[in-house]
Amino acid sequence: MQEFLQLIVTGLVIGSVYALVAMGFALIYKSTSILNFAQGEFVLVGGYVCLWLYTDMGIPIVAAFFITMIIAVFMGVMLERLILRPMIGEPIISVIMVTIALAAVLKSVVTILWSTQIRVFSPPIFSQKALEFGVVRISEVYLWTVGFAFLFLAIFAAFFKFTRVGISMRAVANDQQVAQSMGISVKKVFAISWSIGAMVSAVGGTLVGNINGVNITLSDFGLKVFPAVILGGLESIGGAIIGGLTIGVLENIMGSYLDVYLGGGVKEIAPFIVLIVILMIKPYGLFGIKEIERV
């Protein structure tokens, strides 16, 4: 039982970051109907930029973190304005291929600037000291990671619910034509959606990078977040958060208990096993909207 509880706790840590990145993924899809396959590369860029500012440039971590957020917002707006906006009205497969190409370009730029070697935040942002809570031991860095992840989730939840911009984004997500008829700039909402998607991914990259270090494989987060979004439902931001936490826990438990029998590697494929099962049983996810096409 102690081992099982430990696995759940550590799974919730990584799941909270999955939830944060999945929220950005779902937000972009809900507002623009675009599946952003470059979401993992947003995580990668955010992690490397913050590490470069903090470790290489010697900028205090608080300032480095906020500069990273500003850069992420700028990147999101520019990508939407220069690359995605001209694709409005084009076939969905063309837009998807553009995001895949964008992922490849961002990964190549990161490789050119910082190589592929794993790097760590120096000095560490948070302590690695383990704390005991009953039968469960949790590292301080895990507690800080969960705390910041849920803090940002709460901030953006409040933003969507109570701010004028957030309400406009929800209106566009529900019906773009009606929102536009009410004077809401759909193109502006698209740009804000991409900027927030890039921002939350950058936060995720910084948090994970402080635990495991930063290298090119950080972009794999985008692939692992996709099952979380499918589980919750592509149109549901709340579902994406629940899906992220669920995938984090399932990944940890399946990897721990099944690696012994299958020779390892289960943790890496567990999210995709869950994805296949979900698509077979509930294609629209737990909180997705079932579309009925009349012919």
What's residue 288's pLDDT?
A: 64
Is 93's pLDDT higher than 60?
Answer: yes
Where residue 106 falls among pLDDT bands split at 50, 70, 90? Answer: very high
Is 107's pLDDT higher than 60?
Answer: yes
Could you give the angle at the alpha carbon of 226 between the alpha carbons of 223 and 229, nearest 5°?
160
Is 133's pLDDT higher than 90?
Answer: no
What's residue 274's pLDDT?
A: 79
Name, in order, each residue with C-beta under 8 angstroms of 259's C-beta and a sequence gap of 6 or more: 265, 266, 267
Q: What value does the mean pLDDT of the chain take?
A: 84
Higher-confidence residue: 107 or 273?
A: 107
Q: Which helix (H) or strand (E) holds 178?
A: helix 176-181
The Cα–Cα gap between 272 and 116 comes to: 25
Could you give the angle at the alpha carbon of 63 between the alpha carbons of 57 and 67, nearest 5°?
85
The Cα–Cα gap between 135 and 133 comes to: 6
Residue 70 CB: number of other CB atoms within 10 A? 11
What's residue 221's pLDDT?
A: 79
What's residue 150's pLDDT?
A: 87
What's residue 59's pLDDT?
A: 92
Where residue 294 falls among pLDDT bands split at 50, 70, 90? Answer: low
Where residue 104 falls among pLDDT bands split at 50, 70, 90? Answer: very high
The Cα–Cα gap between 28 and 44 comes to: 18
What's residue 44's pLDDT?
A: 92
Q: What is the mean pLDDT of residues 38-63?
A: 92
Highest mean pLDDT, choosing among 41-45, 88-92, 229-233: 41-45
Q: What is the mean pLDDT of residues 179-193?
A: 82
Is 2's pLDDT higher than 80?
Answer: no
Which phi and psi angles does 214 have, rounded to 5°? Answer: -115, 125
**Domain extents in the chain:** 2-219
Q: Are 121 and 209 in contact (CB under 8 A)?
A: yes
Name, in order, each residue with C-beta under 8 angstroms of 276's C-beta and a sequence gap of 6 or more: none
